[in-house]
Amino acid sequence: MFERRWSYSNPFGLSKWYGHVDYYGQYVIGQWFVLDAETGKPYWSRRFFRPTTICGCVHDVIVASETRSDGPWTAGFGIYGIDARSGSLLWVNHGRGLWGKLLRCLDYVPGFANEFRDVPKCLVDQYVVTTHGRILDVRTGRECPSVEIHERKTGERTGPQHKLYDNKSLDIDGHTIRVEGQRDDFVIRRYERNGNEIWRFAAKDLSLHVDGNYYSYRFHEGRIFIILGDALNYVPINKAKPLIVKSNPANYQLGILDISSGECTILPLANGMRRNKCRIEAIRDSRLLLSCDGMELAEYEITK
């Protein structure tokens, strides 16, 4: 039911800022490394100074931007094209012509260039659509003013695996699946149309814990995958200041909750070792990407 296919370790970490490891066609991409999605074999791994956030990957070109925190704000800036096979930086585009080059220099001044920042909005075919309405060729980074892009946005990521987290509820066959609370108060319930509860899943009933963020549970093909720990993810450093916390090692397990019956199958993870964190990075078809401690990645085969 749950078999590891390959594993990968990166001492520099798997992701930065708000990023996560994900599937992009034939690749698995993190910040910064690229793996073959079928075998887990690395194509390359390196550090990039400025691009830290991935928009997408088409025609073997990764389109990325830079996430920066220059003061009381966090914002994106710039557009980068990176060769998915070699890791070479192919092009940089921050604006039109000389102004774009000047803007890149001025962006080092905190907050000065905020209103002029341009980042990728989505990828459509072989084009990058920017937040300022420019259209760039993904292979060269050059602007294509004569190209018209319609409403279709193939680069945007949507789907039921994200919907359950974003809305905290999901309609299935006229019933409602709802996620409520966090950590010890984390509960998943299924309700009939009239509001009657059909089943309820609460990790604390099993003496387990769920962090409750996006990486701790995911809906996929009639099941909800949940990261369960035998201890809280975070604990206060000082009991007198409960909002200041530190990571708390735990043994993690994967819960597979069937949304029809409400039954949960629990499988061990991470070879029984205690970890500071474990999370679901991505699910595609029957494949699941899990990470531990922000440096170790493994792909699992899921069967019914």
- For 205-239, the pLDDT digits (tens) are 988 888 877 788 998 888 999 999 888 878 888 88
What pTM was computed for the model?
A: 0.83
Buried b (16+ CB within 10 A) or exposed e, 257-278: bebeeeebeeeebbeeeebebb
Tell me which amino acid residue 220 is: H
d(CA 239, CA 72): 28
Question: In this prediction, what percent of the chain has a pLDDT beyond 70?
Answer: 85
Cis peptide before 17 (omega within 30 of 0): no
Residue 43 lies in a domain: no
Same domain, 112 and 216: no
The answer on 286 and 165 residing in a single domain is yes
Is 125 in the same domain as 174? no
For residue 290, the enclosing domain spans: 160-302
Q: How many domains does the chain have?
A: 2
Both 57 and 129 in one domain: the answer is yes
Question: Per residue in 35-55, pLDDT tens?
Answer: 999 999 999 998 887 898 999
**Confidence class of residue 148 from pLDDT cuts 50, 70 and 90?**
confident
Tell me: do 175 and 252 sit in the same domain: yes
Of the residues 102, 137, 172, the one at which a domain ends = 137
Both 174 and 224 in one domain: the answer is yes
Length of the chain measured in residues: 304
Looking at the fold, whether 83 and 179 belong to one and the same domain comes out as: no
- Amino acid making up residue 65: S
* 152 found inside a domain: no
Residue 12 falls inside a structural domain: no
Phi, then psi, of 104 in degrees rounded to 5: -65, -35
Residue 34 lies in a domain: no
Q: Give the DSSP per-residue string, 150-213.
A: -S--TTS--SHHHHHHHHSEEEETTEEEEEE-SGGG-EEEEE-TTS-EEEEEEGGGGT-B---S
CB–CB of 120/65 below 8 Å? Answer: yes
